Amino acid sequence: MASDAGLLVRRRTGDALTVRQVATALGLPDDPSAVRWQRTTGPDGSLFGLRMSTEPGDLLGPAVGESSAEWPAERPYDCYLHVTIDQTAGEDGDSTAALRAFCRSAVSRLHGAWPGLETAFGLDADGSYSYRIDPREVRGTEIELWLGSAAQPAVPLFSPAGAADRAAAADRPGPRFHACPPGRFIPDAESAGDAVTETLALRAGRPGFRAAARTAGWSGAPEALPGFTERLLTECGAAFEEFDLALWVDGRLCRNEVAVRVGLP
């Protein structure tokens, strides 16, 4: 099923990112100020087209805790990327899955280029959505996570605390997680105040599997948290065909992934 995606990126401190800087970080060959549509290859070999923009009308997107009268539940970002898929890698390729994988790969490259970046992307076809901000400092950090799915886990005795422990084991010493009530993290949708939290609240109201976990200490460096989250997504992807994940660091919602599929078409 063909689809489009919108990807937003902003640097939280310092000068706003330019389309040339974003293009360089993504390895795009052409000058975006001279070529309207960029052409690039995704991680699975599929071909994509990208239109990059800094026009004010393109830049509004979701952010946590930054709602205002001027930008209700949203804020302006530095750069917008309109992503389309031109060709899947195989004859029977799933264009939506390929587009989702490309956006996840692009987000990882962008966050690798600029610490403390804020990004958001969404797919038109299936409602996939991602919001991410990487904390710059981690000192005795408390990490809390919430997991939800419309279906029960396919893996017997699955728990997000166990999945988080396994994901954290690559970092030494890894923290230990324990289960906690899932409802304590979910705000009321009508009073959330920003688009990211409102999305989380609305998705959390669906029937199905819901669970949460937390740890009171993270002794690793800040740059270890993105790797931990990616491993956690993989762990959850082994138990669910589709799921939502929210991650708080020291009480700040830093990542919200909606309709995640890992290793599945």
pLDDT average, residue stretch 95-121: 91
Query: How confident is the model over 184-231, as pLDDT tens digits?
Result: 888 877 777 788 888 898 888 888 999 999 987 776 677 788 889 999
Lowest mean pLDDT among 2-6, 36-40, 239-243: 2-6
DSSP states of 103-119: HHHHHHHHHHHSTTEEE
Residue 9 scores a pLDDT above 90:
yes
- Burial class, 167, CB count within 10 angstroms (exposed 0-12 / middle 13-18 / buried 19+): buried
* Distance from C-alpha of 66 to C-alpha of 63, rounded to nearest angstrom: 6
Report the alpha-carbon angle 163-165-166, nearest 5: 65
User: Which pLDDT value is given to residue 265?
Assistant: 46
- DSSP state at residue 187: P
Lowest mean pLDDT among 13-17, 29-33, 61-65, 180-184: 29-33
User: Which pLDDT value is given to residue 146?
Assistant: 96
Residue 2 scores a pLDDT above 70:
no
Residue 250 scores a pLDDT above 80:
yes
Lowest mean pLDDT among 100-104, 138-142, 147-151, 248-252: 138-142
pLDDT average, residue stretch 30-37: 79
Cα 77 to its chain centre, rounded Å, is: 16
CA distances (Å), 191 to each of 64, 197, 236, in order? 13, 9, 29
The pTM score is 0.90
Which positions ≥6 away from 191 have C-beta within 8 Å? none
- DSSP state at residue 69: S
